[in-house]
């Protein structure tokens, strides 16, 4: 196994872990702040805040909890938050039919099928994921950048989900001061998630299309 392969594996591992842990950390810190505010207003027992008071000896447990929460937040974002947001805002991750209309994808298809005219399968039989896998195989240099864009998109989705959860909890717990509760809810459940969901869509679309730009350059270099 070469050094480059090991380095790429470590980079992917770090991106995977950090992309899950950060949203989980955002959730736990946000809940701790809300619980602290509720305790100061005598809305809940002080014993509950001890859940978040991990000492140095429990650092591994805390990181593990962040990791578990992060995965849960990705599920909430993928199955609930993003579909709801895309219906309301009409902004969404490119679907297969729209992806085929992207300039670089069309250019890649044209160049690829001109170069390999004798392929057994006709051009129409290839789905987007098939073409993307071919583009990654032709231009493996694009893999790390694609992975980084995917990491950024998933991290944004997780943070949006965490913010929504904290906003809902704040609305339920801070009912003694309805003005502050509503302000926290609007900020944490609408404004912040919207910002991060827009970044999620932007980087998700980049991750889906970036292999084609590398592959087009590679094929043109070979042709010339």
* Domain ranges across the chain: 3-223
Q: What is the pLDDT along the chain (224 residues), one digit of tens a residue?
A: 566 666 666 777 777 788 889 999 989 888 887 777 766 665 555 555 555 565 555 777 888 888 999 999 999 999 988 888 888 877 777 665 566 566 777 888 878 877 776 654 555 556 777 788 888 888 888 888 888 898 999 999 999 999 888 888 877 776 656 666 666 667 777 888 888 999 998 898 888 888 888 888 888 887 66
**How would you label 37-46 residue by residue, b for 16+ Cβ within 10 Å and e otherwise?**
bbbeeeeeee
- pLDDT digits 0-9 by tens, 106-156: 888 878 877 776 654 555 556 777 788 888 888 888 888 888 898 999 999
pTM for the whole thing? 0.80
Q: Give Cβ neighbours of residue 184 (< 8 Å, ≥ 6 apart).
A: 34, 167, 170, 171, 174
C-alpha span between 216 and 197 (Å, rounded): 30
């Amino acid at each position: 196994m070469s050094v480059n392969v090991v380095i790429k594996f470590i980079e992917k591992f770090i991106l995977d872990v950090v992309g899950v842990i950060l949203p989980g950390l955002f959730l736990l810190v946000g809940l701790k702040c809300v619980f602290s505010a509720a305790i100061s207003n005598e809305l809940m027992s002080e014993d509950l805040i001890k859940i978040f008071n991990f000492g140095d000896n429990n650092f591994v447990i805390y990181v593990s909890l962040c990791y578990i929460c992060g995965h849960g937040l990705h599920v909430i974002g993928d199955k609930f938050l993003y579909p709801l947001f895309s219906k309301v805002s009409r902004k969404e991750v490119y679907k297969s039919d729209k992806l085929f209309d992207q300039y670089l994808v069309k250019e890649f298809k044209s160049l690829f099928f001109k170069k390999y005219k004798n392929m057994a399968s006709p051009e129409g039989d290839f789905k987007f994921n098939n073409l993307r896998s071919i583009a990654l195989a032709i231009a493996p240099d694009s893999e790390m950048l694609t992975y980084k864009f995917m990491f950024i998109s998933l991290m944004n989705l997780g943070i949006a989900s965490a913010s929504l959860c904290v906003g809902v909890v704040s609305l339920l717990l801070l009912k003694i001061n309805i003005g502050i509760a509503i302000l926290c809810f609007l900020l944490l459940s609408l404004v912040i998630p919207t910002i991060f969901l827009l970044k999620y869509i932007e980087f998700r679309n980049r991750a889906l299309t970036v292999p084609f730009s590398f592959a087009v350059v590679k094929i043109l270099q070979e042709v010339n």
